[in-house]
Amino acid sequence: MGKDTHEITLFGDKSASLPAHLQNDQGMGNENAGDALAVPQIKLLQALSPEMRNVDGAQVGMLYNNVTGALYDSMYVANVFLDHYFTVWKDRKKGGGKFGEYTTEQEANEHIKTLEGSPQDYLAQETHKHSLILLDESGEVTGPAVIYMKQSQLTPSRAWNTEIVQTKAARFATIWTLGSKIESNKRNDEYANYSVTQAGWAPEGLYEELKIIYSSISGKRPIAEAEAA
C-alpha cells in the first residue's frame, strides 16, 4: 500500500468536499488569523518575469496570482484602498536593496542623504499600491489582493484613480475589469501595461460587504457602528 493510499484510508480523501460533521464549526480557531494570512499580489507578466520560465502557460501580458499560482487574461476587481508612497532603492550594481518607504518624495530624498555612499547610488521611486477585492465571473468575492504600480504603470494607475474619483461615489462602489495591453517605449521595445475599464456598479449586497472590508483595511469602523458607539 502506497503512502498516499494509506493517508486516504486514515483521514479520508483530502480532495473531497468538507465532510458534513465539520461544516457547523467552519472558521473556529481562526478568529485571529486575519492579519496573518498571505495577501496575494497580482503581477503583470513581462518577457523577463521569472514566471515566464517557471509557470506553465505563462505569457506576456497575463496577470499572475503569486499565492494561488493562477493565470488570468483579465479579472473583475473592486478597488478598495490606495496607498501612495515613495520607496528608496539602491542601485543593483552598488549592492541593491530596499531602504524604506516614505510619504513624500522629499522625505525619501532626505533619507537618501543619510545613507552610506553617494546619493547617486539610490532612487526614490513613486509607488501606487492598490488594495483590491477579486471577484469571480458570478460577481462573488474570492478574496483580497494587491497590485503595485510604478514607473510606466503609474500612467494607468493615475487614470484609474481619476476615473474612480470622477464617479463621486465611494472608491469601492465600482467594479472594474483589470487586464493588460501592449505598449512601446521610446526605443520601440514592447512591454505589457495595465488596462482598466469600468464594468459597472457594485450591487447592494456586494457594496455592503466591500464597505466592511474597506473599514478593516483603512482602520475605520463602519458608519453604523460608529454612530451606535
The predicted pLDDT at position 221 comes to 47
| pTM more than 0.85 | no
Print the domain residue range for 137.
Answer: 37-228
Question: Considering the domain boundaries, does residue 10 fall inside one?
Answer: no
Contacts of 48 (CB under 8 A, 6+ apart): none
User: What DSSP element (H or E) covers 225?
Assistant: helix 223-228
Pairing verdict, β 141-150 and 71-72: unpaired
Per-residue pLDDT tens for 110-165?
999 999 999 999 999 999 999 999 999 999 999 999 999 999 999 999 999 999 99
- Tens digit of each residue's pLDDT (9 = 90 or more) over 6-32: 444 566 666 666 677 767 766 565 444
Quick check: is 28 in a domain? no
Q: How confident is the model at residue 39 (pLDDT cuts 50, 70, 90)?
A: confident
169 lies in some domain: yes
DSSP 92: G
Domain count, the chain: 1
Nearest-angstrom CA–CA distance, 59 and 49: 10
Could you tell me if residue 6 is inside a domain? no
Question: Is 13 within a domain?
Answer: no
Is the pLDDT at 81 greater than 70? The verdict is yes
Asked whether residue 3 is domain-assigned, the answer is: no
- Structural domain includes residue 117: yes
Place of cell 537618501: 112
Residue 12 domain-assigned (yes or no): no
